[in-house]
C-alpha cells in the first residue's frame, strides 16, 4: 500500500453510528493518523495521547494472524474488520494491525474532530 494514495480514511463502520476506522501508518517512529479532508496528525510514542496509547498497546500485544507485507494490499482491505477481529471480537471497538507498519484505530467522530482541532456541530 502506498501511503501517498490514502483517501478512504476515516472509513465509516457499518454497524456503529459515528465510529470510523482511521488508518495509521508508522514511518520512522512516527504514527501518521489519516483523518478527514486529507488531514494527517503525527505522533511519536511520547506525544501519543493516553487514549490512543492505550489502544496501540492492546493492538501491539495481540498477535494478529497473517500480517501482510507493505506492498501486498490496498487501502480498502485495511477496513475489512471481520477478517482482523474474527478471533477476538473486542478489537472491533479498538482497532487492529494490518502489517508491521499499518494499523487501524476505531475512533468516534467527536474524537477525530478533536484530533483535528475542530468541534462537531
When pLDDT is averaged across residues 89-98 and rounded to a whole number, the result is 90
* Domain ranges for the chain: 3-115
Percentage with pLDDT > 90 across the chain: 63
In angstroms, rounded to a whole number, what is the distance separating the alpha carbons of residues 69 and 72? 5
In angstroms, rounded to a whole number, what is the distance separating the alpha carbons of residues 71 and 75? 11
**Please, how many CA atoms are within 13 Å of residue 67, restricted to the half-sphere of its CB?**
14
Position of cell 488531514?
39
When pLDDT is averaged across residues 78-97 and rounded to a whole number, the result is 87
Whole-angstrom CA distances from 74 to 79, 80, 115 are: 10, 11, 25
- pTM of the full structure: 0.90
Do β-strands 11-12 and 102-108 pair in parallel, antiparallel, or remain unpaired? unpaired
Q: Which residue(s) pair with 106 in the sheet? A: 21
Amino acid at each position: 500500500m502506498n501511503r501517498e494514495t490514502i483517501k478512504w480514511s476515516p472509513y465509516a463502520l457499518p454497524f456503529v453510528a459515528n465510529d470510523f476506522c482511521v488508518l495509521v501508518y508508522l514511518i520512522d517512529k512516527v504514527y501518521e493518523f489519516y483523518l478527514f479532508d486529507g488531514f494527517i496528525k503525527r505522533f511519536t510514542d511520547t506525544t501519543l495521547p493516553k487514549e490512543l496509547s492505550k489502544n496501540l498497546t492492546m493492538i501491539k500485544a495481540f498477535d494478529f494472524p497473517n500480517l501482510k507485507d507493505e506492498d501486498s494490499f490496498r487501502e480498502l482491505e485495511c477496513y475489512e474488520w471481520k477478517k482482523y477481529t474474527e478471533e477476538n471480537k473486542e478489537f472491533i471497538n479498538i482497532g487492529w494491525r494490518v502489517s508491521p507498519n499499518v494499523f487501524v484505530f476505531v475512533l468516534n467522530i467527536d474524537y477525530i474532530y478533536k484530533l483535528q482541532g475542530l468541534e462537531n456541530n
